[in-house]
Each structure stands twice: as C-alpha cells, then as structure tokens.
Amino acid sequence: MSNTFSRTMRSLNADSYTTSLVWLGISLLLLILWCIWFFTAKVTIYKSSITARLTKDERITANFPHGAFRVQEIRQNRVIAEFPAEDMPDIRPGQSAEIYLDGDAGKKAGTLHAFVTEIAYIKGKPIVELFTVLNVDSPIRLREGLTGKVMIKTRYISPATMVMQISGLFN
C-alpha cells in the first residue's frame, strides 16, 4: 500500500535541523554581543553653552607630553561661555570641551579643543572660562570677539543607564 503522506519515514530521516540550529546560534551570539555593548559601552554626555565669546587674552605655555622628547609649545586663547543654571552642577575645572565658532572662522578653524579653567557667577549668571589648546605652529589665528558654541564633556554613561534615565526609572 502506498503512502500519500508527504512526510514518509525516509523524508523525515533525511531532514536535518542543523541549518536552523546554526542560525539560532548566530542569533544568540549577536544578542549576547548587543547586551554586552548595551550595558558596558560609554556614551559621552555633553553640556551645551548658550553663548561663547573669545577674549583678547592669549598666552603661550609649555606642555611636557608624557613620553615625548621635546617640549611642545601651546597657544591658548581665553573663551568665556554662558551656560544654563541647571547645567552648572555637572561642570568642573579640568573638563575637556569642544568649541564650534560661528561663520567663516568656524569653517576655517573646525572644532577647537579646550578645557575648563574657572567657573564664576556674574550678576547671577553662570560663566565658564575655558582656554583653547592650539599648537604654536597652527595656521589658525583666533581674534577677539569671535562667537560660537561650547560643548563640555561632563560624564560618560552606558546606553542602559540612558534608557533608564529617560524612562524615569533611574536618576
């Protein structure tokens, strides 16, 4: 008697789940790698200024990089930035920052690196003083009165912490 059922014993024995198991293993590996990234990666949190302005103060200092054989001279320009009052608890001297100048000067200079040197309150407004870090040999010349925006790196958090803070589960 013939069997019309499409799954005969011979076809059942010929079937294999190896392809499905391989794809399941690859999927699990990707899920594990994503979880490791989600809980351990570092996302930089920035605080952005309301305004920023270069002053006429400029100085040249000597930098002694670790492991270098010669002194590196650095040109530093003073920048005054105003930040919202709610951002001030996160800003401290020594933090690194990026400065984005407005207009043609910003296009020519690109991103300028700086560091926070002082925090003050003038007439109740929080003011942050920063100094740029430029090589003495750099062709970029900054002049007084240039304006722009300052982004200060305040801390690093994981994507999981960020999601929990946004959802209100974690502060």
115-148 pLDDT tens trace: 999 998 888 788 899 988 877 666 677 777 888 8
Top pLDDT among 13 and 103 is at: 103
Whether 12 has a pLDDT exceeding 70, the answer reads no
Q: CA separation (Å) from 166 to 70, 159, 163, 171?
A: 47, 11, 5, 9
19-50 pLDDT tens trace: 888 999 999 999 999 999 999 999 999 999 98
pLDDT for the residue numbered 32? 97
Q: How confident is the model at residue 75 (pLDDT cuts 50, 70, 90)?
A: confident
Angstrom distance (rounded) from CA 32 to CA 38? 10
Top pLDDT among 38 and 102 is at: 38
pTM over 0.75: no
Q: CA separation (Å) from 22 to 30, 32, 94?
A: 12, 15, 51
As beta bridge partners, residue 126 has 121
User: Among 4-18, 47-61, 138-152, 157-171, whose mean pLDDT is lowest?
Assistant: 4-18
| Residues 105-120, mean pLDDT to the nearest whole number | 83
Nearest to 127 by CA among 83, 92, 76, 77: 83
Top pLDDT among 109 and 88 is at: 88
Whether 1 has a pLDDT exceeding 60, the answer reads no
